[in-house]
């Protein structure tokens, strides 16, 4: 456990300094968790909601946190679960057809003021969106968050071997999607 996490937990376990500890936790992890969530849900408003829900859940359960797992892997697990829950709630109201879903995502990103609406970046977002949710979590954690397989295995409670296989399969699919669609756009 790093010194900052140890300090956060020390403060949180002292009832008189609980709020100080929780503030330190939020300020230390808000950006990392935000970007992890944002790449899952794409839109700032959704990411903001999910990030708030993540910290509220952390707030409710931090007292029961067992220090046999590391604080940041526990936080990433909550953020990932909250992101997936959010996406699954959205799915109930959306098209079940992947093609239609990706087209809709592209249109919404194009209109989003918090997204650099370059066509190639939309294709990249669609390529990652085409992955199943759990594979997307693995892909983003490994590539964008630069977490080690060991850490991801701890977060998702799975084996390193399964994660490596998932990541490489995902990378192939993403590259293939981009190749097909960039050609289409350029052609």
Partner 1 sequence: MSKDSNIPNNYFNNLPDKIWAKIDQMDDRVKEHAPHFHALSQSNPYKVPDAYFETFESRLQLLGWGRILSLKVIRPYFVAASILLVAVLSWIMMPENSTDDPGADDLLYADVYDYYSDEIEYIDQNLLVGFEADDFEEASLVTEELTEEEIYLYEEAILQEMTDQELLGIL
Q: Nearest CA to 46 among 75, 73, 9, 86? A: 86
Retrieve residue 71's tokens: 């604080």
Q: Are 54 and 33 in contact (CB under 8 A)?
A: yes
Is 114 a binding residue for partner 1 by CB under 8 A? The answer is yes
Instruction: Name the residue nearer to partner 1 (CB basis): 15 or 96.
Output: 15
The rounded radius of gyration (Å) of the Cα atoms in the chain is: 18
Are 37 and 54 within 8 A, CB to CB? yes
Among 20, 26, 81, 145, indicate the residue that binds partner 1 (CB under 8 A): 26
> Quick one: 169 exposed, middle or buried, by C-beta within 10 A (0-12, 13-18, 19+)?
middle
One residue of 127, 131, 155, 156 binding partner 1 per CB under 8 A: 127
Identity of the residue, 55 or 72, whose beta carbon is nearer to partner 1 in the bound complex: 55
- Judged by CB under 8 A, the residue of 38, 74, 76, 80 near partner 1 is 38
Torsion of CA 49, 51, 53, 58, to 10 degrees: -170
Using CB under 8 A as the binding rule, whether residue 174 contacts partner 1 is answered as yes
Q: Does 162 bind partner 1 (CB under 8 A)?
A: no
Q: Applying CB under 8 A, which residues contact partner 1?
A: 22-23, 26-27, 30-31, 34-35, 38-39, 42, 44, 48, 51-52, 55-56, 59-60, 114-118, 120-121, 123-125, 127, 142-144, 161, 164, 167-168, 171-172, 174-175, 178-179, 182
């Amino acid at each position: 456990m790093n010194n900052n996490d140890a300090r956060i937990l020390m403060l949180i376990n002292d009832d008189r300094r609980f709020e100080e500890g929780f503030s330190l936790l939020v300020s230390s992890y808000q950006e990392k968790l935000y970007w992890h969530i944002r790449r899952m849900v794409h839109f700032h408003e959704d990411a903001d909601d999910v990030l708030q829900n993540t910290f509220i859940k952390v707030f409710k359960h931090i007292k029961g946190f067992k220090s046999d797992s590391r604080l940041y892997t526990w936080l990433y697990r909550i953020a990932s679960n909250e992101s997936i829950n959010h996406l699954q709630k959205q799915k109930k109201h959306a098209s079940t057809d992947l093609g239609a879903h990706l087209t809709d995502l592209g249109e919404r990103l194009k209109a989003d003021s918090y997204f650099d609406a370059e066509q190639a970046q939309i294709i990249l977002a669609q390529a990652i969106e085409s992955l199943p949710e759990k594979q997307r979590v693995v892909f983003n954690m490994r590539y964008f968050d630069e977490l080690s397989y060991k850490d991801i295995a701890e977060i998702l409670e799975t084996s390193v071997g399964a994660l490596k296989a998932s990541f490489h399969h995902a990378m192939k699919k993403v590259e293939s999607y981009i190749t097909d669609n960039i050609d289409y756009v350029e052609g």
